[in-house]
Amino acid sequence: MPLFWLIMVVLGIAAIGFVLGRQRAFASAGGEIRDLHSLPSYYGWNVALKALVPAALLLIVWLIAQPLYVSSTVSATLPESAIPEGSTRGLVMAEVRRTSEGLENAVAEGLMDEGLARNARADFTDMTQRLKDAGQIVTAQITQPVLRAAQSFRVMNSTGYLYMAIAVIVVATIGFLFALRETHAEFRARNVVENGVRALLIGAASIAILTTIGIVLSLVFNTYEFFTLYPASEFFTSLTWAPSFSGRGGGSDLGIIPLLWGTLYISIVALAVAVPIGLFAAIYLSEYASNRVRAFAKPMLEVLAGIPTIVYGLFALLTVGPLLVSVFGDNGLGWMQSGTAVMTAGLVMGIMLIPFVSSLSDDIINSVPQAMRDGSYGLGATKSETIKQVVLPAALPGIVGAILLAASRAIGETMIVVLGAGAAAKLSLNPFEAMTTVTAKIVSQLTGDADFASPEALVAFALGMSLFVITLGLNVFALYIVRKYREQYE
């Protein structure tokens, strides 16, 4: 793995720089530490950082830029005739990439020598056969232009990585030498290093912004691409969800409404379970419970929040589903056909949400000033009357905020609905029927065999965009309410 060794080399240069910088500073002060402007290690850090940081930045930029550059160059050399009817340039490029990987692996395993892999005149039928023998290729036959493109792709990549290694090491060495040259007793090493560290800290903090930008861009671009293939009006208004996996494009009904309905229905069931239980638990814990009960019950409820959602999903599929079928199924009331249903997923999701509602409400109820309770008791109200008529109204905005946060969790939850809610998109009112949600369909559309450029796969990004917007809106609204409330008492 050359990249690994490249990183090791750069780290090595930085480590040597640290030692040499420190020594040089000492030497320039004649071994007298009091004559140095900064502590000796700052001189070392100065050299190490100047060797490391620019080289690392260059490495990251190069690693991102090179594949883009190589892909676009190779893609431009592909003649129009190389793209078969009904295919796209992107698909052919994927094929090129696979072939070049195949060549690379075949050379690595010694089944093909370097010369043959580069040979532009190589016979492509022979090449296909050799790659097949090496177990490297899945497609039936590589065509001449694809093979040529794959060869140039491979060569460009390997020369690119060679240049990258050289450039990175050169940059590291230049930084190293430059910093070593400026090292002398008068040099204000601490200030320089501290400014550098500060810049690194700002960079680390900006990753949050970069992540958001990344999310938004990846959603927006792919959603836009989806809407060029599939009309947006259909997506938002169609009442059926029926993706076809038979051919490429066409024949699919991709309406979001049935999915939104499923999401909403399951979330409502979940909240109907979680809100009463969570709220009463919070009231009991904050107003009635003794310290010992509280110290035991609160962590027990919070354990429910720490359990991975896959566990809840399996619990829904294998425990709750069959249980509900035995009560509401054909042998019981006859309302339920199979274990996966809105009720199953909603119930289990409700269990998962109990601690969200109870912890947040608990904090909010606790922050209602004691004076308000005392006033109520003074008028002769019982404890429950005080809670119902004084504490809860005062805490209401915060509790609503907590419920909204729980709702946004419910809408974004994936594993429970993938395993517990079923796969059929239906617009139905029966909670014992299988329905599906936005998140479950994102998983199924992106993990299936659908080709990545087809509307059937791209719709997942449009669904993700809708999900992102809805949950973000709910969160912002909830935080707004919570914050507004908090200002009243503090």
Partner 1 sequence: MTDMPMEPGRVKTSLTAADARTKRRNAAETRFKGYGIAAILVGITFLVVLAVSIIRSGVPAFTHTVMDVEFVVTQEEFDAAESELFKTQAYLQLFIGKLSTQLEEKGLEVEIDDAAIERLLGKVGSDIRDFYRENPDALGKPTRFELSASSRVDGYFNGRVTRETLVDSRFLELSDLELVDALFEAGIIKGAFNWNFITGADSGVDNPGGAGIGASVVGSFFMMLVVLCLSLPIGVAASIYLEEFAPKNRFTDLIEVNISNLAAVPSIVFGILGLAVFIQFMHLPQSAPLVGGLVLTLMTLPTIIISTRASLRAVPPSIRDAALGVGASKMQAVFHHVLPLAMPGILTGTIIGLAQALGETAPLLLIGMVGFVARGYPEGIVGGFTDPNSAMPAQIYTWASRADVAFYDKAWGGIIILLVFLLSMNILAIILRRRFERRW
Chain residues 155-214 in contact with partner 1, contact rule CB under 8 A: 190, 194, 197-198, 200-209, 211-212, 214
- Give min distance, CB of 419 to partner 1, in A: 6
- Give min distance, CB of 442 to partner 1, in A: 6
- Give min distance, CB of 470 to partner 1, in A: 10
33 binds partner 1 (CB under 8 A): no
23 or 471: whose CB is closer to partner 1? 471
469 binds partner 1 (CB under 8 A): no
- Give min distance, CB of 45 to partner 1, in A: 11
376 binds partner 1 (CB under 8 A): no
309 binds partner 1 (CB under 8 A): yes
Residue pair 171/55 in contact by the 8 Å Cβ criterion: yes
- Give min distance, CB of 412 to partner 1, in A: 3
How does DSSP classify residue 341? S
283 binds partner 1 (CB under 8 A): yes
Site residues for partner 1, 389-408, by CB under 8 A, read 405, 408
323: which 2 tokens?
Answer: 């249980």
Q: What count of other Cβ atoms lies within 10 Å of the Cβ of residue 162?
A: 11
Site for partner 1 (CB under 8 A): which residue of 87, 475, 477, 486?
A: 475
- CA dihedral sign, ordered 60, 64, 69, 70: positive
**Sole window of 124-132, 275-283, 336-344, 368-376 interacting with partner 1 (rule: CB under 8 A):** 275-283
461 binds partner 1 (CB under 8 A): yes
DSSP helix/strand/coil, 242: strand
* Alpha-carbon dihedral angle through residues 379, 385, 386, 387, given to the nearest 10 degrees: 180
Q: If binding means CB under 8 A, how many residues of this protein chain bind partner 1?
A: 93
200 or 232: whose CB is closer to partner 1? 200
Site for partner 1 (CB under 8 A): which residue of 168, 317, 341, 365?
A: 317
285 binds partner 1 (CB under 8 A): yes
46 or 128: whose CB is closer to partner 1? 46
DSSP 371-404: HHHHHHHHTT--HHHHIIIIIHHHHHHHHHHHHH
Residue pair 127/117 in contact by the 8 Å Cβ criterion: no
Specify which residues 242 forms β-bridges with: 253
103: which 2 tokens?
Answer: 């060549």
232 binds partner 1 (CB under 8 A): no
Site residues for partner 1, 80-109, by CB under 8 A, read 97
271 binds partner 1 (CB under 8 A): no
**Sole window of 10-18, 104-112, 160-168, 409-417 interacting with partner 1 (rule: CB under 8 A):** 409-417
285 or 336: whose CB is closer to partner 1? 285
161 or 468: whose CB is closer to partner 1? 468
20 or 266: whose CB is closer to partner 1? 266
Categorise residue 198: left if φ over 0, alpha if ψ from -120 to 50, beta otherwise: alpha
Q: What count of other Cβ atoms lies within 10 Å of the Cβ of residue 468?
A: 14
Residue pair 165/6 in contact by the 8 Å Cβ criterion: yes
Site for partner 1 (CB under 8 A): which residue of 76, 120, 140, 303?
A: 303
419 binds partner 1 (CB under 8 A): yes
55 or 442: whose CB is closer to partner 1? 442
Map tokens 């709702």 to a residue.
Answer: 407
| Cα gap 367→490, rounded to integer Å | 9
| Termini Cα distance of the chain | 58
**Sole window of 108-116, 173-181, 310-318, 424-432 interacting with partner 1 (rule: CB under 8 A):** 310-318
Specify which residues 254 forms β-bridges with: 241
Q: Which among 356, 361, 369 has a CA at the least distance from the CA of 286? A: 361
Q: What count of other Cβ atoms lies within 10 Å of the Cβ of residue 217?
A: 10
| Cα gap 452→93, rounded to integer Å | 12
119 or 382: whose CB is closer to partner 1? 382
**Sole window of 7-15, 65-73, 236-244, 327-335 interacting with partner 1 (rule: CB under 8 A):** 65-73
DSSP helix/strand/coil, 200: helix
225 binds partner 1 (CB under 8 A): no
251 or 448: whose CB is closer to partner 1? 448
How does DSSP classify residue 136? -
Amino acid identity for residue 415 in this structure = M
1 binds partner 1 (CB under 8 A): yes
299: which 2 tokens?
Answer: 């962590």
Q: Which among 9, 40, 143, 148 has a CA at the least distance from the CA of 83? A: 143
64 binds partner 1 (CB under 8 A): yes
Site for partner 1 (CB under 8 A): which residue of 324, 391, 442, 450?
A: 442
Residue pair 277/361 in contact by the 8 Å Cβ criterion: no
